[in-house]
Amino acid sequence: MRPAFRQPRFLIAALAGAAVLSGCADDAGDGRPKPKPETMTAKIATPGALPGKAPLTLARISTKSGEILILEPDGQVTTMTLDSPEGQDAFAVSEADLMALNANLDLNLGGMVADGLPPRQTAQEKALEEFAARSQPALPAWADGTTVDPQDFLGARVASLDPKGSADLVEVTANLREGVDADIAFSYATCALAGWAKRNGEPYGRHVRTLQDTRDGKLRIGAAFTLSDQKPMGLRVMETEDTLRECKARGIPAA
């Protein structure tokens, strides 16, 4: 089925009312109302036209089944039921539709659309907003009173994970004394990346995954990040300058 045009419901209502009044006038002679017509035909504005133009198209509505037949500009007919989602959408009207109809028919439609209504969010905008709400700072939050010992940090290095040597995907290998809190260990790896990123002109890094192992009495962290010039989407994103300031405030080396 072709997607239905969205039609202004107030035109349909007006035409329906006119048809009823006309029927009453015709029935005045014999005193008996005429049978309800099986269908009603109306001209409705076609949305989606060029600015300032609202061409009319025909729609026929069954008074018994609620079925709508819309004659589209290309000559094809779209059929739907009045109480279906498509049928309800066919009679929806936007402010742009009203303004186009106003310009075409020289009508004064002021006041029919409320001013200052907030724009509706699209599904994509809602998803992005929900995702942003789940984002976390580059360094994990520590429990109150947490302190660090400079001797806990035993060195870190950054190496490319790309076989071709590209710096777009890197891994930070950080060594710490055994028993160091996992959040402090990850913070150390992130700070090491921030220091390396500043030296190499990389403004952003997005966390991909972290591996943890204990060898020879040392805690080893392997944290992978993708690097980019623009701020990426991610649950945990490192902004080089901001992260370096936070590392300094927490007493974590970034060399």
**Cα distance between residue 61 and residue 79, in whole Å:** 10
**Cα distance between residue 105 and residue 42, in whole Å:** 16
Contact present, 60 and 82 (Cβ < 8 Å): no
- The alpha-helical segments, DSSP class H, found in the chain are 9-27, 85-90, 95-105, 123-134, 182-199, 240-250
Q: Give the type of residue at 221.
A: I
**Cα distance between residue 188 and residue 11, in whole Å:** 67
**Cα distance between residue 203 and residue 194, in whole Å:** 9
pLDDT of 211-239, one tens digit each?
Answer: 999 988 899 999 999 999 999 888 899 99
pLDDT level of residue 127 (50, 70, 90 thresholds):
confident
pLDDT of 5-16, one tens digit each?
Answer: 444 444 444 444
Task: Name the residue among 20, 15, 18, 23 with its Cα closest to residue 42.
Answer: 15
Query: How long, in residues, is the chain?
Result: 255
pLDDT of 16-44, one tens digit each?
Answer: 444 444 444 444 456 677 776 777 666 55
Write the Ramachandran bin of 165: left for phi over 0, alpha for psi from -120 to 50, otherwise beta.
left
**Cα distance between residue 253 and residue 188, in whole Å:** 7
pLDDT of 138-192, one tens digit each?
Answer: 999 988 888 899 999 999 999 999 877 677 899 999 999 999 999 999 999 999 9
* Averaged pLDDT score across all residues of the chain: 75
Res. 117: pLDDT tops 70: no
Query: How confident is the model at residue 145, as a pLDDT?
Result: 87
**Helices then strands, each counted (H, E), the chain:** 6, 9
Q: Among 49-58, 64-73, 199-208, 235-244, which stretch is predicted with the lowest mean pLDDT?
A: 49-58
**Cα distance between residue 183 and residue 140, in whole Å:** 6
**Cα distance between residue 69 and residue 56, in whole Å:** 15
For residue 228, the cross-strand partners are: 204
Query: How confident is the model at residue 98, as a pLDDT?
Result: 56
**Cα distance between residue 235 and residue 132, in whole Å:** 8
